[in-house]
Structure 1
Amino acid sequence: MDRRHFVRNTALAFCVLPATIGIGGIAPRRVKADTMPEWLRTLVKQADKSIESLLTYQEKDPKSPDLGGLRDGFDLLNPHSTSALIQYGASGLFAPGSRYYRSKELLASMNLAALYLIKTQHSDGTIDLLSTNFHSTPDTGFLVKRLAMAYKMIEQSGTEGADQMLPNLKTFLIRGGDALSAGGIHTPNHRWVVSAALIKLNELWPNPKYVTRIEQWLGEHIDIDRDGQFNEKSTFIYSSLTDRLLITIGKGLQKPELFDAVRKNLDMTMYYVHPNAEIVTDASGRQDKAVVGTLENYYYPYRYFAIKDGNGQYAAMCRLIEQTAGPKMTGFIDYFLTDPSLWAELPAEKPVPVNYVKTFPNSGLVRVRRDKWDSTLIANNPVWFTFMKGNAVLQGVRFATSFFGKGQFQSEKINENGKEWVLTQKLDGPYYQPYPKESIAPDGDWEKMPRTFRPQSEVQVLETKVMIRETSGGMEIEVVTNGTERVPAALELIFRPGGTLKGVSKIENTKDAWLLKEATGSYELGGDTITFGPGLALHKNIALRGALPAMEAPTVFLTGFTPFKHVIRFS
């Protein structure tokens, strides 16, 4: 997940889900427990558990050079884990319903953490993400934006001793602001991370150089396509992050035009929801590709615009998130504590789409949903089909042949042809003639005689076409090949671990591989069942040369030879 995992067995979404939502330069007002809505009081109690856990990871030995730092799940002391204590701790000090409300003991631990952050901060104001990024402006931004929010809450909490802790935190933040005002980035969302962090600093200590740098990044425009998706197509992590950041920047600079991109992404995301309230991640260009993710990251932007716009569909999305991912919203408690406008009741709900066929050409994705089941078709991906029915999940279908070690099927495009979608691939396998005599390397070095200059012969060709159609109760796939014959082929049905397969035969000497020899198989999990078939099993060679290795999941294989022609149905 985003910015890696920092502490084991806690709900540390502050680091895991880095985002900042500000309140337009207005310092947080003192809150009363009896004025907070019940859902927020619940989050405060959950945040207490995270504070308690974080404290156990802090170095408390006064003789240690790492005094105040927090270890992560790999036993590494680092700025990210350390900042999490300040971020969560601020909510405890600030919220009257917390058992850490105005706790001098917690504040002392947070002060040690702030001193550790100063110690690990480079002279240029940056910090390191030990797993990959060093002297990193973007990672500094991830921390600064949340710590600036923490600063406000600590300042407004009335905790005794805060006036001694806050100058240390300010030192870290101001130095970080210098880095953010000049440093570079890696990825599209980093521009908005840096800009949102500078917004939060500018609310505390206005500085023209902060605004100048933000405007410079905004001059590149927002990277959103016609589908409503951002460049990284990272539906679980970075799309929702960008939504939250653009709200921060739009509010901080009074640029409501930035909200249009957020609304466009939120509208699109409603079509990326599986029936079990997981989010479609198959087309992501980042580390969340094909991961199992829920919708908690989107709660803030949906709630913000549900209330701001009176949008009933967004309100329904909020209710869905509360019901399916409520505890995971704890990582955004600072947003909710510092913006009481979010405490308002949601508008009346309106139905969200649950029955549709929707194409997203820029993402190479087609979504088919029929209430309780759905299917996703994916281009430019070796996993090009998924099927979900409640808890039962076919998380991927792949097809491969042993054609010259390059027969893993994937299609550049998904073409709609009447009532079916067509994916295609054409491969060739040439042999090579002797090298042109006049160009032969005198020393016989093979590398000096590239194949591009050798005449080709006996060229083999294999064309594969996959046709996908909706049926009365599900979907069907037809796979057809033409060209070279007698090439071993295998169709993989990859199911989510944890369920029960029936009607299939275990392949000996494998961990979790099965053959569907004939008739119909089934996969059941949590009371939901996917049926699939008919089968085909002409060989047991499932580790085809050039094919991707088997996934760590129960996998059913259908096997044959080219010319391969088979139809399999899912319901």
Structure 2
Amino acid sequence: MHSMRTTEHVRELIRLQESRFAEERDVMRAEREGKRRRRVQGRELNRLALLAVLHSHPESRLHRSPELAADMERTAKELLGIQLPSGNVSLYNCNIDSPPDTAFTAHMAALIVQLLQKRGGTGTSGTVETLLLFLRRASPALLEGGIHTPNHRWVVASALAKLEELFGDEGYRERAFLFLNEGLDVTDYGEWTERSNSIYNAICAYYLHTVGVVFGHEPSLEAAGRTLRMMRWLLHPGDTLATEYSGRQDLGQIARMDDRYYAAFHLMAARDRDPELAALAGIAARTAPRGSLALLHWTLEPERMEPTVEAAPLSERYTVLLGEGNSAPVPDRVPYAGPVVKHPHGAPVLRHRRGPLSVTAMAGQPECLYVQYGEARLLALKLGIGWFGAGAVSFPTIERLADDRFRLEAELEGCYFGPLPEERTRAARGSYVAMPNHLRSRIGVVRTRAAMELTLHDDGLDIRVAAGDGRGIYLQAVCLFPGDEGELRGDRLETMGPGIRRLSEGTAEFRSGRDILVVEGGACEHDEVAMRNDSPAPHARTMTVNWTTPTDAVLRIRGRREE
């Protein structure tokens, strides 16, 4: 039964790549004739992968096509043409003369070489030799070059593993282990430094799978498996990924799994005989772009991609606190210059799923709550506070009170500053900003506490905002809804400025399609449009609720579908 299903799926992948090639062929011809040519990042490599899989798979209509083989050799020479004297390539819009981007390229080029050596036939020898030349020229750059983001270490290590497979030099392994021996920056539940569920989790898992298999490095395989298994908790309705606490460029984006997820889930599910990974592989097969990388692995190593267990249905009913007991470094005293670490690694994340309801609560960042019901989304809820320019509160941790109740609490400190001795200010000649102001004594230190208590339900949650300070501190719930979808309405919504409305009392609804989020518990205890240093979100619809301490108020958020 598995074989029949797999065969049909691979045939679908082949038809998709054939359709891509039909579109690409006209562009390639126009470029050869000099009619148009643009510098497009990764164009040569993507074309090579497309041409290689269609040339190599026996069920492709273009299997062993001489015309395709000629296009492939020509494209391989174009790839060689963008290689710099250092052996590196550049990421045109960002990383110039870049060893990490060379590693991404080298890994794919090595896979294509292995595919053509195994299944390409005699007509691809020119392409193979050109790619091997590219990889030999890249070797010194990868053996000596550096990185500048955490995941680059595993990409470089993976490229070095492929080079060892092709060329057999122990130096590749030695260089890779200089990075691997630093230790893998993954939590016990599978999160990486970059906290990027739609991009860098996939990169880490996919490339560390190669490292683990080639080098026999079990910690790499175990780390990749942890990350992939974590993803069962991080799916919103419609199988989009939780990006609301990302530390990278996918922050807040609507995103689904990509081709690297596709390959990683299939490879790890087959290796570990894991029913949950098999189910996630099925989601990737349904939602990922399914580009050439997926078919490349099916053509090169079908025995490693083939399901080995039945997929287990993934639960859409769970409440899980990732990073329980961890505490994030958040600003708690003036001057408030922003988080010490943006979206800090290991900061607790609470995930609550009940079918169409998906809730994420996040420590370590001002945007501490995300709520989705079907298509209706509350992108973020922040608790603004009028406290020495603190803006919105970042909570250091999430405490479990019961199975359905959790608490986020923060203590903030403020003060005033004393004068500096004359000998400390003389050189500044009266310029305040040139003075060593960090040496000023702290005078009149004051503190306050604010908390949010979450009670989770099957159709939403209650948010109890509690602050017992008797000095009349301003608080503000800031609810951010998408600016380019849905409709926000309510009888007591007052316009406060461009894109900002205040819920003075009663309820408001955000509607997207047939799905509705209802927010109940409006208040107007002060007239501030926004708390100082809590910057408005220009591309969102903002709804505020205003309180003055002492406060013990409840916002109720419920989701429903209109029949």
d(CA) in 2 for partners of 1:118 and 1:270? 41
**How many corresponding residue pairs?**
530
The alpha-carbon deviation at position 271 of structure 1 amounts to 1.7
Residues 439 and 183 (structure 1 numbering): CA distance in 2 closer, same or farther, change over 3 Å?
closer
The alpha-carbon deviation at position 293 of structure 1 amounts to 2.1
Query: Which residue of 489, 497, 519 maps to 1:502?
Result: 489
Q: Which residue of 2 aligns with 1:275?
A: 237
Query: Which residue of 351, 360, 382 maps to 2:313?
Result: 351
* 2:280 matches 1:304: no
Residues 147 and 454 (structure 1 numbering): CA distance in 2 closer, same or farther, change over 3 Å?
closer
Q: Which residue of 2 aligns with 1:39?
A: 9
Calculate percent identity across the aligned residue pairs.
25
Paired residues of 1:141 and 1:194 also in contact (CA < 8 A): yes
Paired residues of 2:50 and 2:292 also in contact (CA < 8 A): no
Residues 165 and 389 (structure 1 numbering): CA distance in 2 closer, same or farther, change over 3 Å?
same
Residues 117 and 566 (structure 1 numbering): CA distance in 2 closer, same or farther, change over 3 Å?
same
Q: Which runs of 5+ in 2 are unaligned?
A: 324-345, 559-563
Deviations 1:514-569 (A, max 9, x none): 33232222222232222221212456643432002215123322124444442101
d(CA) in 1 for partners of 2:82 and 2:305? 37
Residues 57 and 432 (structure 1 numbering): CA distance in 2 closer, same or farther, change over 3 Å?
farther
Deviations 1:412-441 (A, max 9, x none): 222233463222233344333443356442
Q: Which runs of 5+ in 1 are unaligned?
A: 1-32
The alpha-carbon deviation at position 55 of structure 1 amounts to 4.9
Deviations 1:288-317 (A, max 9, x none): 233322234433232223333332222222
* 2:240 matches 1:240: no
Q: Which residue of 2 aligns with 1:223?
A: 185
Q: Which residue of 2 aligns with 1:12?
A: none
Residues 40 and 541 (structure 1 numbering): CA distance in 2 closer, same or farther, change over 3 Å?
farther
The alpha-carbon deviation at position 483 of structure 1 amounts to 4.0
Deviations 1:252-311 (A, max 9, x none): 234455422222222222122223322223333332233322234433232223333332
d(CA) in 1 for partners of 2:192 and 2:177? 19
The one-letter amino acid paired with 2:360 is T
Q: Which moved more, 1:388-397 or 1:469-478?
A: 469-478
Q: Which moved more, 1:559-568 or 1:263-272?
A: 559-568
Paired residues of 2:495 and 2:502 also in contact (CA < 8 A): no
Q: Which residue of 2 aligns with 1:420?
A: 405
Query: Which residue of 349, 355, 361 maps to 1:371?
Result: 355
SS at 2:284's partner residue?
A: helix
Paired residues of 2:400 and 2:407 also in contact (CA < 8 A): yes
Q: Which residue of 1 aligns with 2:334?
A: none
Q: Which moved more, 1:378-387 or 1:479-488?
A: 479-488
Query: Which residue of 447, 451, 463 maps to 2:449?
Result: 463
Query: Which residue of 430, 444, 447 maps to 1:444?
Result: 430
The alpha-carbon deviation at position 507 of structure 1 amounts to 5.2
d(CA) in 1 for partners of 2:309 and 2:31? 51
Q: Which residue of 1 aligns with 2:415?
A: 430
The one-letter amino acid paired with 2:98 is S
Q: Which moved more, 1:43-52 or 1:505-514?
A: 505-514
Instruction: State the TM-score, normalized to the length of structure 1.
Output: 0.83
SS at 1:268's partner residue?
A: helix
* 2:84 matches 1:122: yes
SS at 1:165's partner residue?
A: helix
Q: Which residue of 2 aligns with 1:410?
A: 394
Instruction: State the TM-score, normalized to the length of structure 2.
Output: 0.84
Paired residues of 1:70 and 1:81 also in contact (CA < 8 A): no
The alpha-carbon deviation at position 125 of structure 1 amounts to 1.0
Residues 63 and 406 (structure 1 numbering): CA distance in 2 closer, same or farther, change over 3 Å?
same
Deviations 1:205-247 (A, max 9, x none): 3223223323333333333222222333322212222221122
d(CA) in 2 for partners of 1:371 and 1:156? 45
The one-letter amino acid paired with 2:204 is T
**What are the equivalent positions in structure 2 for 1:157-236 lying under 5 Å apart?**
157-158=119-120, 161-236=123-198
Aligned Cα RMSD in Å? 3.2
Q: Which moved more, 1:230-239 or 1:506-515?
A: 506-515
SS at 1:127's partner residue?
A: coil
The one-letter amino acid paired with 1:37 is T
Q: Which residue of 2 aligns with 1:315?
A: 278
SS at 1:135's partner residue?
A: coil
* 2:379 matches 1:395: yes
Deviations 1:439-487 (A, max 9, x none): 4427333245433444454555443222222246421112233447455
Residues 490 and 309 (structure 1 numbering): CA distance in 2 closer, same or farther, change over 3 Å?
same
The alpha-carbon deviation at position 383 of structure 1 amounts to 0.8
Q: Which residue of 2 aligns with 1:15?
A: none
Paired residues of 2:99 and 2:145 also in contact (CA < 8 A): yes
Residues 477 and 532 (structure 1 numbering): CA distance in 2 closer, same or farther, change over 3 Å?
same
Q: Which residue of 2 aligns with 1:557?
A: 544
Residues 365 and 34 (structure 1 numbering): CA distance in 2 closer, same or farther, change over 3 Å?
closer
The one-letter amino acid paired with 1:177 is S
Q: Which residue of 1 aligns with 2:326?
A: none
The alpha-carbon deviation at position 164 of structure 1 amounts to 2.9
Query: Which residue of 120, 138, 150 maps to 2:100?
Result: 138
The one-letter amino acid paired with 1:463 is R
- Larger RCO (CA within 8 A; separation ≥ 6): 1
* 2:482 matches 1:519: no
d(CA) in 2 for partners of 1:378 and 1:398? 11
d(CA) in 2 for partners of 1:151 and 1:393? 45
* 2:553 matches 1:566: yes
Residues 265 and 159 (structure 1 numbering): CA distance in 2 closer, same or farther, change over 3 Å?
same
Paired residues of 2:13 and 2:290 also in contact (CA < 8 A): no
SS at 1:133's partner residue?
A: coil
Residues 567 and 485 (structure 1 numbering): CA distance in 2 closer, same or farther, change over 3 Å?
same
Paired residues of 2:107 and 2:158 also in contact (CA < 8 A): yes
